[in-house]
């Protein structure tokens, strides 16, 4: 016996695995013979390409009827389109596992147009409220406007009609009382935007009346300067131009 043969050991034969058997079955189905890798004289051949089944391609999602309706409503009636779009997307995702491109576009458009619609509605409400307030001010001013119109040119006269004629004290005092009563009546008719200034005219006239009654003397130039200062600060001509037309 050969000495080298006597000293050699025999390697245990490895059982083929499931993967080996799968490869062998694939090769046999392609007509390729596979030799035993443990047989004497076995030579490995070049690796063969295997045709494993490929995963089916995913179908491209297509827009549903609800998607298209929500897209139209996103432009025509954005809030309603947004609500319908949410329903459509939830339904499609539960049924197919995806959301269509049409639904995504409808979502963007409905949100944008809903925000624009809300901003427009807010701006309109602000303008409408301002116009309503202005109209109410004009309506409240009409009684005063009508009463002022009964004495044309009074706002162009000195101190709005303060008596300046030289006359006896009793006659001048009577004219001063009539002036004070007239402006007190106008102050009572005035809306909030003019009442304070008109009341200041009536109050100042009353102060001068009391002064003349107690002193029995009249400082005509001083009284006219005092009343001119008060009437000039009232801004009544501008108020009448804005509110009385």
> Which tokens hold the place of 152?
């044309």
Would you say residue 128 has pLDDT above 60?
Answer: yes
Whole-angstrom Cα distance, residue 113 to residue 39? 77
204: nearest Cα among 143, 145, 159, 155:
159
144: nearest Cα among 17, 33, 244, 25:
244
Overall average pLDDT of the 193-210 stretch:
94
Q: What is the DSSP string of 193-245?
A: HHHHHHHHHHHHHHHHHHHHHHHS---HHHHHHHHHHHHHHH-HHHHHHHHT-
Overall average pLDDT of the 20-34 stretch:
67
- pLDDT for 213-228, tens place per residue? 999 898 999 999 999 9
Q: Is the pTM of this model over 0.75?
A: no
**Average pLDDT of the chain to the nearest whole number:** 82
Q: Looking at per-residue confidence, does 24 or 129 come out higher?
A: 129
* Percent of the chain as helix, strand, coil, to the nearest 5: 70, 0, 30
> Which tokens hold the place of 128?
């409408």
Whole-angstrom Cα distance, residue 206 to residue 218? 14
**Reported confidence tier of residue 6, pLDDT bands at 50, 70, 90:** very low
Would you say residue 183 has pLDDT above 90?
Answer: yes
Would you say residue 120 has pLDDT above 70?
Answer: yes
């Amino acid at each position: 016996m050969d000495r080298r043969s006597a000293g050699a050991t025999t390697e245990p034969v490895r059982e083929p695995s499931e993967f080996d058997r799968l490869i062998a079955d694939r090769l046999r189905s392609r007509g390729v013979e596979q030799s035993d890798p443990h047989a004497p004289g076995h030579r490995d051949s070049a690796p063969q390409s295997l045709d494993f089944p490929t995963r089916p391609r995913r179908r491209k999602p297509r827009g549903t009827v609800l998607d298209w309706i929500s897209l139209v409503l996103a432009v025509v009636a954005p809030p309603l389109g947004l609500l319908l779009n949410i329903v459509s997307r939830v339904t499609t995702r539960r049924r197919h596992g995806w959301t269509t491109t049409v639904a995504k576009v409808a979502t963007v458009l409905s949100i944008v147009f809903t925000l624009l619609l809300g901003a427009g509605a807010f701006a309109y409400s602000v303008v409408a409220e301002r116009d309503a307030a202005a109209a109410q001010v004009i309506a409240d001013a009409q009684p005063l406007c009508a009463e002022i119109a009964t004495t044309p040119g009074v706002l162009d006269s000195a101190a709005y009609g303060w008596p300046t004629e030289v006359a006896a004290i009793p006659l001048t005092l009577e004219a001063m009382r009539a002036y004070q009563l007239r402006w007190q009546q106008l102050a009572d008719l005035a809306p909030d935007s003019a009442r304070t200034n008109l009341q200041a005219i009536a109050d100042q006239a009353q102060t001068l009346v009391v002064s003349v009654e107690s002193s029995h003397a009249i400082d005509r130039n001083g009284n006219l300067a005092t009343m001119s200062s008060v009437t000039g600060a009232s801004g009544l001509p501008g108020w009448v131009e804005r509110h009385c037309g």
